Amino acid sequence: MKTAFITGAGGYIGTQTSLTLAKEGINIAVCDISEKSVKATVDKVNASGGNAKGYVAGVTDLKDIESAIRKAAEDFGGLDIMVHIAGGSARIAGGRYVPLVEQEESVIDRVLKVNLYGAFWANRAAAKIMIEQGRGGKIINFASAVGINGLANCCDYAASKGGIM
């Protein structure tokens, strides 16, 4: 049986992705920064007949996300699929949607760390395990059309999603 590790699995898109993959018989490692959200998604997946376990970790902390991914691979006997969904815009950093010249440095920094660095750290940790296993795997990154088209007052978000693409 294959195993998928899903970041941002506590949000709507992450929960739906978890449920969809579980219906295909894939073990689900639910990861989010919110313990409450992790538990809610794990409960939904398991109630639907799937097999899920939860991992609370932040994608901006390399050691934290590496540890969670490694633990999930140990718990499920391997890792086959990495789905990186975790992300957000100015509101995750307590900011407002304003023109770039007005945006606070701390908001820009947080958005880039979650959206862009988070993808690097999660994918890097998963790839290490997949290479060690010697059987390959799949890495899927969610982005946004905003990374191509842009969006007024969301330059940081657009740049980070464009970077993922």
Count of all residues that appear for the chain in the document? 165
Q: Which residues carry out catalysis? A: 157
pLDDT of 13 over the 80 cut: yes
Task: Identify the pLDDT of residue 14.
Answer: 97
pLDDT of 20 over the 90 cut: yes
Percent of the chain past pLDDT 90, that is, above it, reads 73
Distance between CA atoms of residues 112 and 81, nearest Å: 24
**Residue 44's pLDDT band (cuts 50, 70, 90):** very high
Task: Identify the pLDDT of residue 119.
Answer: 96
Task: Identify the pLDDT of residue 132.
Answer: 97
pTM given for the model: 0.93
pLDDT tens for residues 53-111? 999 999 999 999 999 999 999 999 999 999 999 988 777 777 788 888 888 898 888 98
Ramachandran angles phi, psi of 20, nearest 5°? -65, -45
The CA distances from residue 59 to 1, 8, 44, 123, 158, in Å, are 26, 9, 23, 10, 19
Q: Write out the two tokens for 58.
A: 């932040």
Query: Between residues 42 and 90, which one has the greater pLDDT?
Result: 42
Amino acid present at 44: K
Q: How many CA atoms lie within 13 A of 139 on its CB side?
A: 16
Query: Between residues 154 and 29, which one has the greater pLDDT?
Result: 29
Distance between CA atoms of residues 31 and 35, nearest Å: 9
pLDDT tens for residues 118-155? 999 999 999 999 999 999 999 999 988 878 888 888 88
